[in-house]
Structure 1
Amino acid sequence: MIMDPYTLLALPVDASPVEIKAAYHRALLAAHPDKRADSTADIAAIQEAYRVLCTPHLRARIQHTRNSQTGPRPAQVISLTEFDEGDEAWVHACRCGGAYRITADEMEKGTHLVPCTNCSEVVWVGYELMDE
């Protein structure tokens, strides 16, 4: 799995089955091409996240993995299409007044977690690399 299912569905770790189902439907609607033509969300990843969180032993395994990992937890998932493209990087404003900044080199390396230049918040940037 590429991404943490809780993060992908924007759920707290203690989410109930009802909350998981509601978040799953929200994510599917947000990713649906008829609703948002610019959506880069992976519907298969959303479905997999829902399957994992609805299966008790898989959810327990994810929880164990999360507990053993260190590093920042993204505050939200933002599509690269929501960033402003500059000469050297893509930039998205943070609510603190700072900005999230990602370069083409970082994307080539597979970087998705991007910190704010001003505060401690981190976001997960969604994008797909295209073959040239």
Structure 2
Amino acid sequence: MRSIRETLHVIFAYSEIPLLSVPKDASFADVKAAYHRVLLQSHPDKQSGGTSSSTNLVDIALIKEAYAVLSNDERRAVYDSLLSQRTYTTTPPRPAQVISLEEFEDEAMGNIEEDREGGPWRYPCRCGGSYSITTELMDKGEHLIACNSCSEVVWVGYEIMES
């Protein structure tokens, strides 16, 4: 039998979204109803063609583990604690789009110029904020740049030219 922490890490590793999709303050009855609903939706016999696949079996095992955690007060408290401490250091953010550095504007000069150094260069985000990249970030090889107003991340395409 796995420990609570091992179980939760397995659930986290295979699922970026809550398996049972219940709110944090869901009652036991809500958790049980969600468990039955999701279990029926994921059961191999309910899949098109009636074929059993290892993917479905893994999903069912995770659903059962999620229910075991959320239906037990002690395990649920540990789950809530780990969820609040969860960081995404193992998986980098996925960029929304790839943007060439040539599309960025120099903060002081307008459009980027070939010989201009320093920056920062900015590109508008759809939220109204902006992405900003500097020579220092490029020297470090940083390509993933976050918006200063929302959680959106873009990949900035550039090549470092040796002088």
TM-score (norm 2): 0.38
TM-score (norm 1): 0.47
Q: Give the structure, 1 or 2, with the largest relative contact order (CA under 8 Å, sep 6 or more).
A: 1
Asked which structure has the greater CA Rg, the reply is 2
